[in-house]
Amino acid sequence: MLIDIIAGARPNFMKIAPIIRALKAREAEGGILRYRLVHTGQHYDAKMSGDFFEQLGIPLPNVNLEVGSGTQAEQTGGIMIRYEALLLEKPSDLCLVVGDVTSTMACAITAQKLHIPVAHVEAGIRSGDWSMPEEINRMVTDSITNWFFTTTVEADCNLLKVGIPDDRIFFVGNTMIDTLLANQDRLRAPDFWQDLNLNGKDYFVVTLHRPANVDEGTSFSKLLSAIAVGTRGLPVIFPVHPRTAKTLRELRGFPSSIKLVDPQPYLEFNYMVKNALGVITDSGGITEETTVMGVPCLTLRDTTERPETVTVGTNELIGTDPAKLTPALDRLFAGEWKKGAIPEKWDGNAAVRIIAQLETLLIGTTEQSAPLMTDINTPANA
Q: Active-site residues: which are they?
A: 209
- Distance CA(90)–CA(78), nearest Å, equals 18
What three-state secondary structure class fits 126? coil
Q: What is the crossing angle of helices 266-275 and 285-293, to 10°?
A: 50
Q: How far is CA 195 from the centre of its chain?
A: 30
As a whole number of angstroms, the distance between CA 170 and CA 123 comes to 9
C-beta separation of 12 from 96 below 8 A: no
Contacts of 29 (CB under 8 A, 6+ apart): none
Geometric angle at alpha carbon 176, from 298 and 158, rounded to 5°: 75
What letter would DSSP give residue 185? G
C-alpha dihedral sign at 52, 268, 298, 148 = positive
Which residue blocks in 29-174 are alpha helix, DSSP H?
51-55, 72-89, 102-113, 133-143, 153-161
Please, where are the H alpha helices in 205-349? 211-214, 217-230, 242-248, 266-275, 285-293, 308-311, 325-333
* Nearest alpha carbon to residue 294 among 201, 210, 364: 201
Give the C-alpha separation, 221 to 219, whole Å: 5
End-to-end CA distance of the chain: 29
